[in-house]
Chain A
Amino acid sequence: MQAPSRRLPALRLPRRGAPQLLAFAAILLVDWLVSPQFFDLRMQGGRLFGSLIDVFNRGAPVALLSIGMVLVVATRGIDLSVGAVMAIAGAVAASLADTHALPVVLAASLGAGILCGAWNGFLVAVLGIQPIIATLILMVAGRGIAQLLTEGRIVTFSAPGLAAVSNGAVVGLPAPVVLTVVVLAVTVLVVRGTALGLLIEATGANARASALAGVSTRTTTLAVYVWSGFCAALAGLVTTADILGADANNAGLWLELDAILAVVIAGTSLMGGRFSVPLAVLGAFIIQAMNTGILLSGYPPELNLLVKAVVVLAVLLVQSPRLAGLSLLVRRRTA
């Protein structure tokens, strides 16, 4: 029993990621068609510079969010508060940046994110409030908290340490991209290297049955919300470092929806169960490749949302099992 069940996912994985990889390649191709210099790369100030790098650099915050979000969704939950948590983490970091040492700033900011995640987890796992409502509370209140911290202003800072979170480089790659890869690697290692991933999927597939079978669903649920809060705080640090300031009104605004979209593009069901962290990250980069393409295309901005909607629809249609069945049926008829 042990051997085949271990080999099966490995065999399945490439087929599972095929639609997403295909969509990513297709969007990059379209980007290249609308803007021929899309794949041009050069070094600028010690890091790679080009539109392709922009896709990964600008996509990093949503990619970070989606790493936390995909685990939450796998437990049949949802975290609407990630955008607000980004704003809180950014506000904390920017307020402290010029007066405190970098480790203190990072610890306070990430700590705030973990605290927010723990609050969500407490509401969902301990009090049993439905995730969409439980996290809606922090989505609304969190932005208010961030605005209180910044007093409604854009709090700017000049500390180079915090700025490096966004404009730094590791072997020529922008720091946010490296950060995303590291968080992705750690998350995959933890959830797939141990039984944690299985426990998360079990919790999402059938919480009651899992609990009866001895899975501590409460701790599992709490843990994924905490991780989501942590990832959101990281994303908040990246966006704050990017503009050298905390904009509580706009930081992370509506990004929770992009993160959920990334998770859905990755083929994870909102009803919980099977999930893939790398594909969620790929989903985030698919969204960003589309955004960057729209910006490069020179189309009037009134079309932005329309183009985005059509592309998302296309990507999701490719994955639709019903549609796959339908096309098979059509092919059989015509044959």
Chain B
Amino acid sequence: MLAARMHRLLLAATVLTAMAAPGASAAGLTVGFSQIGSESGWRAAETSVTKSEAQKRGVTLKIADAQQKQENQIKAIRSFVAQGVDAIFLAPVVATGWDAVLREAREAKIPVVLLDRDIDPSGKDLTLTAVTSDSVHEGKVAGEWLAKTVGSKPCNVVELQGTVGASVATNRKKGFEQAITGTPTIKIVRSQTGDFTRSKGKEVMESFIKAEGGGKAICAVYAHNDDMMVGAIQAMKEAGLKPGRDILTVSIDGVPDIFKAMMAGDANATVELTPNMAGPAFDAVIAYKTKGTVPPKWIQTESKLFTAADNPQAVYDSKKGLGY
């Protein structure tokens, strides 16, 4: 009993000294991360990448899973403030209602970095920076790939949208449309929502195939996420079509299964939504803490395009263990 308590005291003392050291090196940093939850494979991957990125830099990471509830996140931030961490990462479950708790963090002089999602402008001054992907840009990268690939050939595109009203779906649609406006030969002939799911993606693609003369008139499929594309690929195969050859595919997210499809020649391209939001965030915090460099208000992550030429096998192997 006593030994354990002594040990804990000693531990606390070391932590305190580490924090008190002036010009703390990256190795001594402690970061609290309030994660939304694990509602999707991508988020599970984000959590595991955050852990490995912290380890890489010798940062001590404390993760609090909010289970989709803002009050849990606010509680977590308060406890991080009480523990006196060096920085707080927040993946906000909603955009509003953060001002009060962020002000508490600011009073404690603890910088807050937003990961993957943004908050309302009123709270922006209270955060150090936000590391997010630009979903309009993602759509644009997908559209540019298609425009480059088909060249001047006429191309009828069918689009599998995300959930109606979701900002990601709206933005990915907008970006794609912007990218193909310069190429009048590319036309979106059909667009329906597949709710970001495999089974709806498959069902919607089945109807597209029937409505477009058995799929002969379709030149490419654009899906707002890879899961819908995985479903669409099945629908095309069951209809006797050859996805990836007869019909081009381009989608967004970069989940492991789309790389598997790419290896089989069923998928052509995907735009990665990187699960590594924490890497740039750690770098920003370390630079801020050690050199006092104030990062820009928004750090945009790279939306990288992957095709069969990018060794999908290697990407698949690197991703499959992340929890997607």
Q: Which residues of A contact B (CB under 8 A)?
A: 35, 37, 40, 44-45, 49-51, 54, 58, 151-154, 156, 167, 239, 242-245, 247, 249-251, 292, 295-296, 298, 300-302, 304
User: How far is it, in angstroms, between the C-alpha of A44 and the C-alpha of B161 when the chains are bound?
Assistant: 27
Report the separation of the CA atoms of residues A242 and B44 in the bound assembly, to the nearest whole angstrom.
25
A-chain residues with CB within 8 Å of residue B149 when the two chains form the complex: none
A153 and B198 in contact, given A249-B40, A296-B211 (Cβ under 8 angstroms):
no
Contact A247 B211 (CB under 8 A): no
Q: A49-B239, A156-B257, A304-B193 are in contact. Are A245 and B198 (CB under 8 A)?
A: yes
Cα–Cα, bound, A267→B40 (Å): 39
Contact B238 A295 (CB under 8 A): no
In the complex, the answer to whether B161 meets A301 with C-beta atoms within 8 Å is: yes
Query: What's the dominant secondary structure at chain B's contact region?
Result: helix
Rounded to whole angstroms, the CA-CA distance of A49 and B240 in the bound complex is: 10
Minimum CB–CB distance for A186 against chain B, Å: 26
Instruction: State the 3 A-B residue pairs at the shortest beta-carbon distance, nearest first.
Output: A295-B207, A301-B193, A243-B198
Supposing A37-B210, A301-B164 touch, asked if A152 and B195 sit within 8 A by C-beta, the answer is no
Q: Verify if B204 is at the interface (C-beta below 8 Å from A).
A: yes
Do the beta carbons of B240 and A54 come within 8 Å of each other?
Answer: no
Bound CA span A301–B263, Å? 32
User: Quick check: A167 and B207 within 8 Å, CB to CB?
Assistant: no
How many angstroms between the C-alpha atoms of A250 and B225 in the bound complex?
A: 15
Q: Interface size of B by Cβ–Cβ distance < 8 Å?
A: 36
Q: A242-B199, A296-B207, A304-B193 are in contact. List 5 more A-B contacts (CB 8 A).
A: A44-B238, A54-B206, A58-B203, A243-B199, A301-B192
CA distance A19 to B166 in the complex (A): 38
Q: A154 and B191: CB pair below 8 A?
A: no
Instruction: Evaluate contact between A151 and B323: CB separation under 8 angstroms.
Output: yes
Q: Is the CB of A35 within 8 A of B257?
A: no
User: Are the C-beta atoms of B207 and A243 separated by less than 8 Å?
Assistant: no
Residues of B within 8 A of A298 (CB): 190, 211
Separation of A244 and B202 alpha carbons in the complex (Å): 11
Partner of A244, one of B193, B207, B234: B234
Cα distance A51–B43 when bound, in Å?
37
Check B107 for interface membership: any CB of A closer than 8 A. no
* Shortest CB distance A57–B (Å): 9
28 contacts between A and B (CB under 8 A): A35-B211, A44-B240, A51-B207, A51-B210, A54-B210, A58-B203, A58-B206, A152-B38, A152-B39, A152-B41, A152-B43, A153-B44, A154-B41, A167-B238, A243-B198, A243-B199, A243-B230, A244-B234, A247-B199, A249-B39, A250-B195, A295-B192, A295-B208, A296-B211, A301-B164, A302-B164, A304-B164, A304-B193
A219 to B221, CA, bound (A): 52
The chain B residue sitting closest to A250, CB to CB, is B197
CA distance A151 to B48 in the complex (A): 13
CA distance A214 to B44 in the complex (A): 55
- A contact residues around B161 at 8 Å (CB): 301
Q: Flag B4-44 by CB within 8 Å of A: 1 or 0 each.
A: 00000000000000000000000000000000001111011
Q: Does residue B316 face the partner (Cβ distance < 8 Å to A)?
A: no
Q: Hey, which chain B residues are within 8 Å of A292, CB to CB?
A: 207
- A309: shortest Cβ distance to chain B, in Å? 14
Residues of B within 8 A of A151 (CB): 44, 323
Choice from B204, B206, B208, B257 contacting A154 with Cβ under 8 Å:
B257
* Least Cβ–Cβ distance between A32 and chain B, in angstroms: 12
Q: Does B111 contact A (CB under 8 A)?
A: no
Min CB–CB distance A248 → chain B (angstroms): 10
List, in ascending order, chain A residues with CB within 8 A of B213's CB.
37
Flag if A152 contacts B191 (CB, 8 Å).
Answer: no
Residues of chain B lying within 8 A (CB to CB) of residue A239: 199
- In the complex, A295 Cα to B201 Cα: how many Å? 11
Instruction: Name the one of B202, B207, B240 contacting A242, with C-beta atoms under 8 angstroms.
Output: B202
Shortest distance from the beta carbon of B272 to any chain A beta carbon, whole Å: 18
Taking the nearest CB of chain B, how far is it from the CB of A36, in angstroms?
10
Cα A244 to Cα B203 in complex, Å, equals 14
Is the beta-carbon distance between A152 and B40 smaller than 8 angstroms? Answer: yes
User: Residue of A at shortest CB range from B211?
Assistant: A296
- Complex Cα–Cα for A39 and B131 (A): 51
Q: Are the C-beta atoms of A54 and B239 separated by less than 8 Å?
A: no
Q: Which residue of A lies closest to B199 (CB)?
A: A243
Which residues does chain A contribute within 8 Å of B41, judged by CB atoms? 152-154
The minimal Cβ–Cβ distance linking B321 to chain A, given in whole angstroms, is 11
Q: Are B239's CB and A247's CB within 8 A? A: no
B90 CB, min distance to chain A CBs, angstroms: 21
**B324 in the interface (beta carbon within 8 A):** yes
Quick one: closest B residue to A288, CB to CB? B203
Interface flag for B227 (CB, 8 Å): yes
Contact with A along B222-252 (1 / 0, CB 8 A): 0000010011001000111000000000000
Q: Smallest distance from the beta carbon of B217 to chain A beta carbons, Å? A: 12
- Residue of B44, B192, B199, B211 touching A250 (CB-CB under 8 A): B199
B121 to chain A, nearest CB (A): 27
Chain B min CB distance to A90 (Å)? 10
Task: Collect the chain A residues with CB atoms within 8 Å of residue B238's CB.
Answer: 44-45, 167
Q: Which residues of A contact B191 (CB under 8 A)?
A: 300-301
CA gap between A49 and B214 in the complex, in Å: 10
Q: Give the distance in Å from the alpha carbon of A300 to the alpha carbon of B159 in the complex.
A: 11
Residues on B with beta carbons closer than 8 Å to the beta carbon of A295: 192, 203-204, 207-208
A19 to B323, CA, bound (A): 50
